Amino acid sequence: MNPLDELNPPELRNTLTEAWRVVRQRRGWFVASFCLLASAAFVGSLWIPRKYTGSTLFERRNDLVLQSVIGATWDKTFETQRRSLTFDLTGPASLAESLERTSIGRAWPRDENGVLAAAGTAARDMLQNRLADGIEVKMIESTPQRDVVEVRVSDSDAQLASELAASLRESYVERSRKKLRLFLQESLDYFNREYGHGDDQVRRNERRVSELERDYPGLSAEFASRATSEGNQLTTERADLRRKLLELRATEHATMQLAANPAWSAAPASAPVVLRDNPRRTELATEIERVERMMTDERVLRGKTDEHPTLVALRGKLSRLQHDYRSEPERVPAASIPVARAAPPGPLTPAEMLATTQRQIQESETRLAAIQHRLDELEMIRTAALEKRPEYAALNEALRRQQAEMAALQTRIDPIRRILTAQGQDRGVQFVSIREPGSIARPTSPDARAILVACLAIGLAGGAATLVLMEFADRSFRTAAQVTRSLALPVIETIEEIVSPAMRRARLARRFVFAPVTTLFLLCTLTLSGAAAYMSLEAGDRYQQWKRDPLRPQRLFQRATMPLAVQSDEIAPTEQVDRQNEHARTGLAEDTRPTHQPATAQTQFGLAHRPGEEAGQTWDE
């Protein structure tokens, strides 16, 4: 179903016609009501509380060099500051501090120490409550390296709004840097303390490990491996010695038999003896070389000192090996040739041979005993180490963990130290002012256009209401339809009004004199009131000027049109001539100043312009 069908155009047309008739018949009342009500609304709008907004724009920049030097930790610092931006700027403490810096705050009563008295504190708290909702922080731009922040303060006092915006910004900058420094210093102190504790613990553990290794050499894995290889070598050597001992005893026995046979005892053995290089000596040399290499590795690669138990053990082993090496003959008879059948070497007599053999036997037995002793020793060390092995392992594990923790702490301490150093060298987060608050002449609330529309709407509504009321109050007939409806009688004819000459004269007077004058008066009232309302919002300076001296425009006009000779008698002739020349040159009346030039000393709110502040000024310490 078409919604337009429900509108019933004839009824709509009739309604609109009737409405138009009412407006046409009572247009005078409508215009008067509209003008008067709109004017009253404009005048009333002058009492609407004005709200002024002071705003400042500044930039926070990250230090790219510091970022590249310090790395991710520095990024976190910048990000941490960004997250707490609003609270740092507008939190209660910051706001209180900023208020105390304003001209109002400086006037609050204080004690002899400069601290706010009770009355001052109360005044500050009251002002703080009033302003808290009017402060807005907006992040205009936000990148990993740069933030552009706008701080806006709205209040009925323009000067306060402007001062507070600047004060909040300055407070924030100071507190940010201080806060960062404090935060970093505290972090550094904390990490240093932790590092100290860890270092003490590590030293204690290292000392204990050294003690254990010293007391129980078998604890260390290296020693165990060395002990094992040494044990194996000793075992091999023992086996060789035993075999050699058997051979020596056999040789001794044969030599004793030889010595007991006179035939053989006088004649030197003529059978040649085959000699070879002592393999044992070769092994010893190899082992000596290996031990020496191990010692070198321990010293160079692992940084152990000579007092280290490992090196002490190796040194002991080396000395033993060297002793054995020295005690071993360079050449020994070949093993394939039985010693009993072999002729004694050279010119040795059986007695000498026997002595040599017995000496070798003794040496071998001594060595064997030493080997056995060493083996026993190693076994004892190994057994003793077994009991302490859990404690040793735990200590090593704890040591490793503590060393890892300390390494982690060190990774945190180094960047913090670098940041603190950078802060002290004017590096770090930088703050740059982009726009200063400045003096405020135009209120942000109410909006001039909104006031215009609202007042005109009030006028229109009032005019319409007047028409409606008059229409309702008018009980007379206005249309033939009303007559027909009311009286149930036909309307035979409608006769227009017969206008007599007197009536015509009165109507002409009303139309051409009264109505225009009244309309002009109403329009002037409307225009003036509207202009006053608009000016009070858009050109506060000029409005205040006009308020102080309403007749100023008239006087200006009079002075401009008055002959120069008739002007003020107080002006000295020379001065008057100067003024005349000035007027002739500039073409301006004396009191008119170009409106775009601000007042020299003060704005309308008595705030002196703040010298010296320019955009681009940074607060870096």
Partner 1 sequence: MGRIADAMRKAQAERVEVQRLGNAASIDPEVAGVEPLAPDDMVTPPGMRATTLTAATESTVAQTPHGGVDRSIVGISDPTSALAEQYRGLRTWLLRHNTTNEHRSIIITSAMPGEGKSVTALNLAVSLAEVKHLNILMLDADLRRGRIARLLGMQPDAGVAEVLSGEATLSEAIHPTSIRNLSLLPAGCRTHASAAELFSTRTTAALFDEVRERYHYVIVDTPAVQSAADVGVIGGLCSGLLMVIRMGRTPEPVVKQSVRWLQSNNLNVLGCVLTAADRRGRQTLHPFATGGLPR
The reply on whether position 18 binds partner 1 by CB under 8 A is: yes
Nearer to partner 1, 14 or 210 (CB): 14
Least Å from the CB of residue 516 to partner 1? 23
Taking the complex as a whole, the smallest distance from the CB of residue 34 to partner 1 amounts, in Å, to: 22
Which whole-number Å values give the CA distances from 473 to 37, 467, 476, 477, in the listed order? 20, 10, 9, 12
The pattern of x and - marking residues 501 through 520 that bind partner 1 according to CB under 8 A reads x-------------------
- Residue 495 binds to partner 1 (criterion: CB under 8 A): yes
Strand runs (DSSP E) across 300-408, as ranges? 331-333
Taking residues 20 to 49 in sequence order and writing x for each that binds partner 1 by CB under 8 A, - otherwise, the string is: xx---x------------------------
Q: Exactly one of 145, 228, 319, 479 binds partner 1 (CB under 8 A); which one? A: 479
Determine the Cα–Cα distance for residues 169 and 89; give it in Å rounded to an integer: 7
* List of E strands, 314-368: 331-333
Q: Taking CB under 8 A as the rule, does residue 475 contact partner 1? A: yes
Neighbours of 25 (CB within 10 A): 15
Does 484 help bind partner 1 (rule: CB under 8 A)? yes
- Residue among 6, 307, 493, 614 that touches partner 1 (CB under 8 A): 493
Q: Is 491 in the site for partner 1 (CB under 8 A)?
A: yes
Work out how close the CB of 470 gets to partner 1 at its nearest, in angstroms, rounded to a whole number.
11
Q: Does 472 bind partner 1 (CB under 8 A)?
A: no
Residues 568-607 that bind partner 1 (CB under 8 A): none
Name the minimum Å distance from CB 460 to partner 1: 23
Distance (Å, rounded) from C-alpha 350 to C-alpha 256? 8
Residue 3, CA distances (Å) to 7, 14, 526 in order: 7, 19, 41
Q: How far is the CB of 13 from partner 1 (least distance, A)?
A: 9
133 binds partner 1 (CB under 8 A): no
Taking the least distance from each CB to partner 1, the nearer of 449 and 504 is 504
Q: Which stretch binds partner 1 (CB under 8 A): 281-289, 302-310, 493-501, 531-539?
A: 493-501
Cβ neighbour number for residue 75 with a 10 Å cutoff:
15
CA atoms of 47 and 393, how far apart (whole Å): 87
- Which residues is 153 bridged to in the sheet? 54, 135
Q: What is the closest distance, in whole angstroms, from the C-beta atom of residue 507 to partner 1 in the complex?
A: 13
Q: Binding of partner 1 at residue 471 (CB under 8 A)?
A: no
Q: C-beta of 503: minimal distance to partner 1 in Å?
A: 10
Residue 84 makes contact with partner 1 by CB under 8 A: no
Nearer to partner 1, 490 or 616 (CB): 490
Q: Which of 138, 400, 478, 511 binds partner 1 (CB under 8 A)?
A: 478
Nearer to partner 1, 495 or 566 (CB): 495
Sign of CA dihedral 457, 458, 462, 465: positive
Strands 331-333 and 275-277: antiparallel
CB 56 within 8 A of CB 437: yes
Among 12, 64, 271, 487, binds partner 1 (CB under 8 A): 487
* CB half-sphere exposure, 246, CA atoms < 13 A: 6
Tokens 């940084």: give the residue.
Answer: 303
Residue of 84, 56, 60, 55 lying closest to 431 (CA atoms): 60
Binding to partner 1 by residue 17, rule CB under 8 A? Answer: yes
Q: Are 400 and 581 in contact (CB under 8 A)?
A: no
Out of 476, 561, 568, 574, the only residue in the binding site for partner 1 (CB under 8 A) is 476
Nearer to partner 1, 15 or 103 (CB): 15
β-pair type (52-61, 146-155): antiparallel
Q: Return the number of the residue (490 or 594) whose C-beta is nearest partner 1.
A: 490
The residues, ordered by sequence, that sit 6+ positions from 560 with a Cβ below 8 Å of its Cβ are: 589
- Name 147's bridge partners: 60, 142
Closer by beta carbon to partner 1, 21 or else 331: 21
Name the H helices within 46-150: 64-70, 72-83, 85-90, 92-101, 103-106, 118-132
- The whole-angstrom separation of Cα 585 and Cα 264 is 158
Q: Is residue 494 a contact point for partner 1 (CB under 8 A)?
A: yes
Interaction of residue 496 with partner 1, rule CB under 8 A: yes
Which amino acid is present at 298?
E
Identity of the residue, 495 or 601, whose beta carbon is nearer to partner 1 in the bound complex: 495
| Position 43, amino acid | V
How far is Cα of residue 237 from the mean position of the Cα atoms in its chain? 72
Q: Summarize as ranges the residues that interact with partner 1 (CB under 8 A).
A: 14, 17-18, 20-21, 25, 474-484, 486-487, 489-498, 500-501
